[in-house]
Each structure stands twice: as C-alpha cells, then as structure tokens.
Copies of this chain bind each other. A is one copy, B any other.
Amino acid sequence: MTPLAFALLGLIRDEPRSGYALRKVFETTPMGNYSSSPGSIYPALKNLQTAGLIASQSAGPRKSVFAITPGGLEAFVTWLAQPVTAKEDPNIALLRFAFLQDDRRQSLDFLLSFARCAHGKIVALKGFLGSEPGRSMPLQAQLAVQHGLRTTEAAAEWAADAYRQLKEETKP
C-alpha cells in the first residue's frame, strides 16, 4: 500500500468517486503532490479493487464509481492510527491528519507527536549547523539547511496552534 493508494482510499471513503473524479482532485486541490496521471491512478485503483478494499459500481455506459468496502474501511482506519515517526515523510503524516475527521482525541494525539518529531528535527539541524562539518560548509549550503530549520519551526508552531484550535473547537 503506497501513499497514493491511501489517498485514493480516503477520498473514496468520504464519498464514492470515479477514477476521473479522483484525478481531478489531485489536479485542482492542494493534494496535487500526488500523481493525477492516468498511468498511476487507474492501476492503483485496480490494485485496491483486487485487494477487495474498494468495489466498483458501474454508473452509466463507460463510467464506474468506486465505493469503499468494509475491509477497505478497516485497512484505512488502521493506517490512520499509525503513529507519527521522525523517519516518515511529514507530508504522508499530514495526509493521515487530513483524513482524521471524527476522532478528536486521535487528532490531538497526532498533533502532539507531530510537534515532538518537529522539535527533534530542529535540534538535529541546529546541532548540525553548529558542528564542524556544518560550520565549514559553503554559505549557500548552510542557508539551505537554514531553510529546513525555518520551515520545520513553522511546522512546529502550526502543530501547537492547531492543537489549541481543535481543543477550543466545541468549548464555547
């Protein structure tokens, strides 16, 4: 199961969709980091179908709409519950977060773990910049590391803000 497969599964969980509709999502929304080319979407959908995670209902002459199956839903919620780790691409973790809708507890836990990973990365980058190999790099290389530092700091701040926002959500 690739990230693309889970992205498709999540979109189909939200509502049944055709392959073309899924491609449009990747073309017109910030989920655009994912493929959208027919050569990636249709084979991925076929895999999901073969694995029994989605089922196609034909809707019209040459159209078919996919819906998630009970097994697919189970696989999806298991994936959603996956812990955030430092090794994982943050964008994939974020993909999980975007699909976490009902469970507020899980969302809050996610944000805490996400922030912890971000802080770990910040420490590592600062450590590298202060160390001998870091100090002796050309300025541009140091600035590139600074970029990673700044964006990771922004990610940590985002997590903290999102945590507050989610916590307050239903209070007043």
Interface residues, chain A, CB within 8 Å of chain B? 29-30, 94-95, 97-101, 107, 124-125, 128, 133, 138-141, 143-148, 150-151, 153-155, 157-158, 162, 165-166, 169
Contact = CB atoms under 8 A, between A and B. Distances in A.
B153 A165 contact: no
A142 B125 CA distance: 29
A76 to B, nearest CB: 15
B141 A150 contact: no
B169 A158 contact: no
Contacts of A125: 30
A143 B97 contact: yes
26 contacts: A29-B128, A29-B133, A30-B124, A94-B147, A95-B144, A97-B140, A97-B144, A98-B143, A98-B144, A99-B140, A99-B141, A101-B139, A139-B165, A139-B169, A143-B162, A143-B166, A146-B158, A150-B155, A150-B157, A150-B158, A151-B151, A151-B154, A151-B155, A151-B158, A153-B154, A154-B154
Contact of A139 (B99, B148, B166): B166
A147 B158 contact: yes
A162 B154 CA distance: 17
Given A139-B166, A146-B158, A151-B155, 17 more contacts: A29-B128, A30-B125, A30-B148, A94-B144, A95-B144, A97-B140, A98-B138, A98-B141, A98-B144, A101-B140, A139-B169, A143-B158, A143-B165, A150-B155, A150-B158, A151-B158, A153-B154
